[in-house]
Amino acid sequence: MPSNIGELRHVMLGSIFRPEVPLGPTRDTPITCHAPATGKGKLHGSPECRSLRSAASVNQFDIPFGEAVERLCTNCRWALFMDSPILPLGAAVNDVDCLTIWLDSDPEDEDDIKAERDAAIALSTGDYPPHTNDVSDADEEDNEAGHNEEWERYDRARDLRYGRLSHWRRLHSYLIRSNQAVADYPFLAPWAEGLQSRLTAVLDAERRAFADLVQPTRLLEAAAVRVLPTPQFSGDPGFAGLGAEAERTFRRAWSEWSRRATWSWQRLEDHDFSVYTVVSDAFGRRRKGKPEAHTAFRRLTADWIRQAREEATRPATTPWQLLAVKTPALPRTRHSERERDPLTLWEASVIATYQVAFNRKSGATALLVPHLVAEQLLACASHDMPVQRLAPDGSALPPETLLEQWDHESLTHS
């Protein structure tokens, strides 16, 4: 029985439930309908529906939901009590049915393919155009136009990469939500199976397209930054302008640079601006000694980058590792609200780049990753993103089988 007769929700049942959607026990739930006295035609949620205006008279009656579903008007809203079992089932059906939106997209044309290739070429050198210092005054105007064009090229490449990331994550989230819908209502499984299987193929194609725009070397170097020892402050003459703030600025610069570098998909050099900002903030409006300090910190960051790359290229005593990760879905948002991905750019890039198996029903992924990357992933494991070594005892089973056997639920709830 409804708990409160005033708590009603008006739902367009005819646009949610189609005859092929399994209803399970809810098929016996009565709903109130309106129809012409002749008994023919659609069933309506309100006597005010435009389709009933020409009817000589309208009857109201209750009918089991399963008997009504084939005749539901697609324009009407039905008033349902908030504790009606049809409401949560409708939400689950929506979570499965929305997969169809992504299954029939048009194939990429030649221009799209060229743009992808150009973006991959551009981003292989960094997120921004390489610096050039060999321009004469006579060529300055022409160079400025070329410079602007090159910056626009890199802007397009970054936008394309981020668009690929966003689309892949959105598709993954839709699949995870549909899995939860089937877990809540197992009788939906036969209907959902085909849609989920088709979406998995689309999802993998989008993952590969995103991974093509990411450089694995940068992901490894980012992981190497995490294991670098915290640098010790020394009295560099270039710090003189900072006075008593020198050591504090040094520590802030390292903290900001290492944090950004560790969780990014960019070149290590692309984080130099974070150090520049820290130093500039420390000086405020003062100018004396500022150029010298910037020069000193550029030398520092160059040294940090050198150390990270040495660590990344050091011969590994531990072979590549097979990990399992349960990637979280994007949190649900309200209309026009911005999506906030719980994954960092580094985590998303690693998962897309190193995937060797994917279990559609659990949403878990098997990754074969370098040791440094494995250690960082394991360090950032959480309740929302469980991570575990998949074959710690050297199992020879294929990743797909190991992934199917992985009990990530025990990690999540422990």
pLDDT at 135: 47
Helix or strand holding residue 284 (H, E): none
| pLDDT given at position 407 | 79
DSSP for 146-196, please give it.
HHHHHHHHHHHHHHHHHHHHHHHHHHHHHHHHHHHHHHH-GGGHHHHHHHH
What is the reported pLDDT for 338?
Answer: 81
Task: Quote the CA–CA distance of 221 and 174 in Å, as a whole number.
Answer: 32
Encoded tokens for 218? 């940068």
Rounded average pLDDT per 10-residue block, the chain, 414 residues? 65 94 96 91 92 89 95 94 96 96 81 94 93 54 71 96 96 96 97 96 96 97 96 88 92 96 95 94 90 94 97 87 95 82 96 96 94 95 92 81 83 56
Of 204, 327, 343, which is closest to residue 265 (Cα–Cα)?
343
H-type helices in 12-139, by residue range?
13-16, 65-68, 86-97, 110-123
Give the model's pLDDT for residue 118: 96
pLDDT digits (tens, 9 = 90+) for 387-411: 999 987 777 789 999 999 997 776 6
Cβ atoms 395, 383 nearer than 8 A:
no
pLDDT of amino acid 95: 96
Distances (CA, A) of 295 to 104, 236, 299, 311, 323: 54, 11, 6, 25, 42
Report long-range pairs for 235-240 (Cβ below 8 Å, ≥24 apart).
236/296, 236/300, 237/292, 237/296, 238/292, 238/293, 238/295, 238/296, 238/297, 238/299, 239/293, 239/296, 240/289, 240/292
Q: Are 403 and 324 in contact (CB under 8 A)?
A: yes
pLDDT at 146: 65
Q: How far apart are CA 277 and CA 356, in angstroms?
A: 40
pLDDT, tens only, 339-383: 899 999 999 999 999 999 999 999 999 999 999 999 999 998 998
DSSP summary character for residue 28: G
In 237-384, DSSP assigns E strands to 321-326, 355-359, 364-369
The pLDDT assigned to 374 comes to 96
Helix (H, G, I), strand (E, B) or coil at 9: strand
Q: What per-residue confidence (pLDDT) applies to 86? A: 97
- Quick one: tokens of 241? 């302008």
DSSP state of 390: S
The region that residue 76 occupies, defined by phi over 0 for left and psi between -120 and 50 for alpha, beta otherwise, is beta
**Burial class of 74 by CB neighbour count within 10 A (0 to 12, 13 to 18, 19+):** exposed
According to the model, what pLDDT value does residue 46 have? 92
Q: How many CB atoms sit inside 10 A of residue 298's CB? A: 15
